[in-house]
């Protein structure tokens, strides 16, 4: 079994209005150290081992469903775990 942590974020070239709103809110609460916020998504997947390459499977999942490759980037971490 594999536990996969997937992080999806907007590309740097894409405006992030939600991130800008959070930045503004934090600054209005006197957290002036905060200069920028980017909002993203975090997902955890549990995959069974198969004959297919785990990275190939994850990339297909991310590009077909979890991330919009036109405006979002993704990265992931894979941990081997014991079946429960």
Cα–Cα dist 44/32, whole Å: 32
Taking the CA atoms of 56, 57, 58 and 60 in sequence, report the sign of the dihedral they define. positive
Tokens of 15: 């405006």
Q: 25: which 2 tokens?
A: 């809110």
What's the pTM value of the predicted model, to 2 decimals? 0.86
pLDDT of residue 82: 78
Please give the chain's pLDDT, 84 residues, in tens: 999 999 999 999 999 999 999 999 999 999 999 999 999 999 999 999 999 999 999 999 999 999 999 999 999 999 998 766
Exposure on the CB side of residue 57, measured as CA atoms within 13 A: 14
How much is the mean pLDDT over the chain? 96
Max Cα separation, the chain? Answer: 53
> What is the dihedral angle through the alpha carbons of 59, 64, 67, 69, rounded to the nearest 10 degrees?
90
């Amino acid at each position: 079994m594999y536990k996969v942590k997937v992080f999806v974020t907007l590309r740097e070239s894409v405006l992030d209005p939600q991130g800008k709103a959070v930045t503004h809110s934090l600054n209005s609460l006197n957290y002036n150290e905060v200069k920028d916020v980017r909002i993203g998504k975090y997902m955890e997947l549990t995959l069974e081992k198969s004959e297919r390459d785990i990275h190939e499977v994850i990339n297909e999942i991310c590009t077909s469903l979890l991330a919009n490759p036109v405006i979002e980037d993704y990265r992931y971490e894979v941990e081997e775990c014991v079946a429960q």
